Structure formats: C-alpha cells, structure tokens
Chains A and B, each alone.
Chain A
Amino acid sequence: MRLFEFEAKELFRELGIPTPVGQTIKCAEEVFSIPAKSFPKTLKTQVLSGGRGKAGGIKFADNQEDAYHKAQAIFKLPIKGELPKTILVEPKVTIKKEIYLAILIDRAYKGPILMASAEGGIEIETSENIQIVPVPGANYSNFYARELAAKVGLQGIQLIKFAAIVDKLWQVWTKFDCDLAEINPLIIDGDDNFIALDGKVTLNEDSIGRHPRFAGQLVNHLSDLGDREFRGKMCGLNIVELEGNIGILCNGAGLTMATMDLVLHKGGKPSNFLDVGGGANKDHVKRALDLVSSSDDVKVLLVNILGGITACDEVAAALAYYKEIRPDAKMVVRLVGNNEDKAKAIMDKAGIPMTNILEKAVEEAVSLAAKA
C-alpha cells in the first residue's frame, strides 16, 4: 500500500526525521487560512502515481491570491488519470545539496539494502550513480549508514548527520513493515540541516494486518488502479487488467500467466490476469466471474482450472449459475483434476461444453473472440 507524501512525512516526523513544516488542504479556499506573511509556499498535488512534477502537479506561490489560483488548477489536474483529494502546502526551502536515500528488500541479497545517490531528485531507475550497502539478515547497525555516507562522498559532520537520518529511516522501515521507505530528495539546507523534502513509503500488503493503525486504510490508497483492479482489491481477488478481449479465470499465479501466454501464442489477446487461488469455493468463483466479465471489452471467458486443492465441481456449480443469469455469455471451460467427473455431470446438465485439454480450450477461446 503506497502512502501519500503527506502520510509518509507524518511517519518520518514520528520517528524524528525532519520535514518541512507543512499543512494539507482539501479545497483551494483553504489557502486563505495560511498566514500571508508565511509565503512563498510550495503546492504539491497528493497522488499515488509517479511523475507528478513533470506533469505540473507541483507549483510555487508567492502569496495567497497566487496560491488560490494555482491550487484550483492543481485540484483539476489529473496525474495519469488520478485526481488529487489533497494538496500539501509547504514553505520553500533553500537547497544546498540533494541526496537520494532509500531502504528496500533486494531479492538478490535475500535481505534489505540501503541505497543512496549523491544526486537527489533523480529518476532512480535510470541513475548510474547509485550506491548500495546490504544489511545481512536485517541486523542493522549505524556503521552500515556511515559506510553508505562515505560511498556517496559525505564527510565530517554531514557524514554523521546523514547516518543519523538513515538510522531513523531504518526505524520507519522496520516499525511499519515497509516494502520501500524512500526520501527523494533528502536535502541539506543553508544551515547544514538534513530535511526530507519528499517521502515515499510503500507498506507491505501482507504485513498490514499486524498494524492496527492502518486497518481499513487500503480503500483510500487505490486511486492509481483501474476499475476492475480496484473492485478486485475490495473483494480479495487478484486481477491485473490488460487490453485484450479474452477474459481469463484460472487458479494459481503461474498457471494463470501460462494460460495468458498461451492465448497470445495462439493469436489472441488476454483481457486480464485473475487467479482465484487454491481451494476456491462456489461463491468465490461467482464473484470472480462477475469481476472478469464486468468489462465491456471481454467477448469470451476462458476458464482454466487444474484441481489440486480446488474441487472442480465447486467451480462447475459457479459456472452453471453464471450460465443461468447470463445465457448469452460465451464461455470456454477447461476443468481437470480433483472431482473432474462430478464437474462434468454439472456442466453437461447446464449445457456448457467442457474439455480437459488446455490447448483445445485456448484455441476455442481465440477462435470465438475473433468472430465476436
């Protein structure tokens, strides 16, 4: 779960990382409650999508009137389709130096790494000057931070101060089970203070359940998702949207991907990834069918279930129900494994053709989609 910048900064301040002293506004009129003497200010759109600066989501304002017009414009400006509900208003700061700093798990090291660059404010994916210090077994100590500081060329009091910030960011990362805790840029101001000018925190979704303070928060942090993906999250279904016209419903992540790849291989286009998971029952499959078919682009539904834990007859019962309420829906079904015979009986009764051969099912789905 990606947090908004203003929320990330709240966590930073809680653990002692300095940030600019800002405030959030929900409408442009609120700028008039900001003391006139405190200007100039920076207005920052609060969205989850990246690239907001380039898209015009960050503006400077010299006075209240200026801020009012700019806030109005920002509230109307979608970033990659996402409109902000909040703007963060902060004082302008003097920047002597910008640094990139992040903590995340690196799969190659099988553990966390500290990452920094002497160029802050950069696109980290494309930067050449990234320094990395792994923290084996997540057994952190301050010397890792000092090593990192030295690697990015910091010296003297700046090295010590930087390492203290890393200590605190480490606390954020561990305390809240983050996938990513990033400060970009971490700035050194005119008085040699380190300040987190921006903050990006992604909480690990598997871990949120052990952090009561984030309970029920997920729904407010999905504004960068498409329609089916948003609804999928809400009902516990893992769907990823693509642009094709063959709706996919499978069990198991690997088999789902392999089925989508097969569709492409046979000249078709998958509309989505959807893994109903292991041991799915009738109601769960019904919800999944509704979700996949809710896009107008979907012309054919391709169901591929290999019953290991999952019982094929549970899936067949959901398909039979679906056929009743949507008699015109085009469905191609492959069921194999656990309770396959029972499933076959249900499918025969419902008049839905079923195969146990994957290749045949995919060819059929591609051919039906081509005709639709």
Chain B
Amino acid sequence: MAVLINKNTNVIVQGITGTMGGTHARLMKAYGTNIVAGVTPGKGGQDFEGIPVFDTVYETTKHFRVDCSVIFVPPYFALDAALEAIEAGIPLISVITEGLPPQDAVKLHAAAKANGTLVNGPNCPGIITPGECLIGIHPGSIYKPGKIGLISRSGTLTYEIGLGLKQADIGISTAIGIGGDPIIGIDQIKSLELFQNDPETEMIILVGEIGGSAEEEAAEYIKSNVRKPVIGYVAGVTAPPGKRMGHAGAIIAGNKGTAKSKREAFEAANVKVADTPYEIIDLVKQELAILA
C-alpha cells in the first residue's frame, strides 16, 4: 500500500534532457519507477534512453495516465513548469528544484490549492516507496521495504536514518522528503494524515529542524489525530539565531523556531524524541517490541 506512490504510479519527468533530470530519470527508471514520458520544450519527438520526450505536459496526458510529475527544471523556470503540470490535471507534483524564488512558491501553492493538486517540495529529495517507486533523488539502495513511515525536511539526514534502519533490518513504507523551504506543499501534518490512514504503516518517524512552527503545529495535530507511535527528532540544537542554516527555511527568527521549542512540543504530544539520528533507530526498536 504505502502512501502517495506505489508500483502502479505513472511518472513523467519535466526537464528530462537536462543534466539533473537526465541523471535522475535514469536512476529512477533503474530503480523500477514507471517513467512513462519526459517533457522538454522544443525537444518533443525525441527519446531519452527509450523514454519518449514531449514538448508539453498536456501531450503526455493524451498518451498516458499520468499520476505524478517530477520537476528538475532550473529555479526561475520551475514555477512555469509546475503551473503547466497543475493545469494538465496531474494530481501529484514533486518539485526537486532548489532555490525557487519565494514569491514564485507563493503562486505555485496558491494554484495547487485552487486545483486540489498535491505538491511535494520544492527543494526536496522527493518520495520513495522502497521496492516499488522512487521519485526524486533519494539513493534507492539505502532503504528497505517495511512498515515505518518517514517524514523529513532534510535530504541526507533522511538517507542517514534510512540507512540506519536498513542496517538494523527495519524497513519503511514510504519516505517523504517534504523539503527545506519556508513554503512547502505536502507538509508534516499532511504527511502524518497520510501515514495515519495507511494500513501498511505501523509507526511514524518525524524528522524536523529549526525554523518556523511546523513541528509545533504537527505536535498539536498528533495529539488529536495520530494513534500510531511517533518518533521525533529535531536538528539544529547548535544553530545560532538569525543565521540561515543551509535550508532557506532553517532559521531561528528572534526567539521563535528553536530546537528546544520543537522538542518540547513533541514531548507534550507524547512523541518520543531522539537526541541523535542513531538513537532514532533504538527508539524504533523499542516501539516495535511494544507493538509485537
């Protein structure tokens, strides 16, 4: 089952003939993702390593049932690409692109909301349902299929946890890299809702970081809506205020958005909080023992 994507998901890649798009289209296909088509304006009619390329997103929908578009186009073209996918009626869009201007992000999310489109990202590693479907840039071999739902604002930190779980022989249902920007589509609350409703997911790992109030809001949501065990982690205890820690969204403004505040919110929602990435694995093992 898993959430958002599975072995039946038909995927197109916008920007498939670019360096990033091409590299990752190849990796996604090798992983087993159904890449049905690619889009690059002006290159319609060509093919990319056996994948047909079209000029417009709309054309791909005439030939295939398209469930998801993964966007690898450069930042100043990403809004246009996403609007095209939204307009073509594609239900799920993953924007991998980093550096999307915030004013473009506002317009993107307004359009998505108006059309009921789910947007993953921007500035995210994408989503993976191990053994079935990979969209984005997750290194597929790091994850093992299983029953843990993984939600994270970060890329490599997600891989770290996926790897730690795999080494402990624990698998995941789906990992959602929600993205490191201040304005994102599928957020922590939406991800929690999906995993709570997914019968294949037994437990949820929620990896947050400093900046904003998404973890605090997620904690409130967990209190009244999530019945599955949740393990939390917050990166950025050592982050000084006022400095952007890599991700556009990872910044403590005034005294808001600190790791301490997020940890406390998690604890108040009965979320078990790990001090370190590998302690997450220990907490998962403990919870699995209780569930068994």
Contact = CB atoms under 8 A, between A and B. Distances in A.
A110 B160 contact: no
Given A105-B183, A206-B100, A306-B160, A138 B139 contact: no
A177 interface: yes
A336 B250 CA distance: 25
B101 interface: yes
Interface in B215-238: 217, 233, 235-238
Nearest to A310: B156
B160 A358 contact: yes
Contacts of A270: 238
A94 interface: no
Nearest to B248: A206
B245 interface: yes
Contacts of A174: 103
A112 to B, nearest CB: 7
B157 interface: yes
A213 to B, nearest CB: 16
Contact of B75 (A206, A262, A265): A206
A210 B102 CA distance: 13
A258 B277 contact: yes
A207 interface: yes
A227 interface: no
Given A252-B156, A257-B209, A258-B157, A309 B103 contact: no
B101 A207 contact: yes
Interface stretch (B9-17, B29-37, B83-91, B147-155): B147-155
Given A108-B213, A240-B243, A265-B276, A255 B107 contact: no
Nearest to B259: A261
Output the residue of A253, A336, A359 with the most chain B CB within 10 A: A253
Interface string B265-292: 0000000000111100000000000000
B76 interface: yes
A358 B277 contact: yes
A308 B137 contact: yes
A255 B243 contact: no
A105 B102 contact: yes
A254 B152 contact: yes
B70 interface: no
Contacts of B1: none
Given A253-B247, A255-B160, A177 B103 contact: yes
B145 interface: no
B106 A105 contact: yes
Contacts of A337: 139, 142, 159, 163
B180 to A, nearest CB: 6
Contact of A254 (B99, B154, B214, B276): B154
Contact of A308 (B142, B235, B244): B142
- Interface range on chain A (Cβ under 8 Å from partner): 35 or more
Contacts, number: 167
Contacts of A137: 106-107, 109-111, 113
Nearest to A104: B102
Given A179-B102, A206-B101, A270-B238, A278 B110 contact: no
A206 B244 CA distance: 13
A47 to B, nearest CB: 16
Interface string A309-341: 100000000000000000000000000111000
B240 interface: yes
Q: Which of A125, A137, A207, A255 has the most CB of B within 10 A?
A: A255
B42 interface: no
Interface residues of B, number: 59
B251 to A, nearest CB: 10
Q: Which of A306, A336, A338: most chain B CB closer than 10 A?
A: A306
Contacts of B99: 206
Contacts of B52: none
A262 B276 contact: yes
Contacts of A273: 239, 243, 245-246
A257 B278 CA distance: 14
A275 interface: yes
Contacts of B262: none
B22 interface: no
B213 A255 contact: no
Interface string A87-118: 00000000000000000010110111000000
A111 to B, nearest CB: 5
Nearest to B255: A125
Contacts of A111: 106, 109-110, 183
A174 B103 CA distance: 8
A359 B156 contact: no
A263 B277 CA distance: 12
A86 interface: no
Nearest to A254: B154
B21 to A, nearest CB: 13
Contacts of B278: 358-359
Contact of B235 (A209, A210, A261): A261
Interface in A105-146: 105, 107-108, 110-112, 125, 136-139
Interface of A: 105, 107-108, 110-112, 125, 136-139, 174, 177, 179, 204, 206-207, 209-210, 238, 240, 242, 250-258, 260-265, 270, 273, 275, 278, 306-309, 336-338, 358-359
Given A260-B237, A336-B163, 16 more contacts: A107-B214, A110-B106, A112-B106, A125-B254, A207-B102, A240-B243, A242-B240, A254-B207, A257-B210, A257-B239, A258-B157, A264-B238, A306-B163, A308-B137, A308-B138, A359-B276
18 contacts: A112-B106, A137-B109, A207-B103, A251-B156, A252-B154, A252-B155, A253-B247, A254-B153, A255-B156, A257-B238, A257-B250, A260-B237, A263-B238, A264-B238, A273-B243, A306-B159, A308-B142, A358-B277
Closest 10 CB pairs of A and B: A254-B154, A253-B246, A252-B156, A137-B110, A254-B157, A255-B156, A207-B101, A257-B235, A308-B139, A107-B182
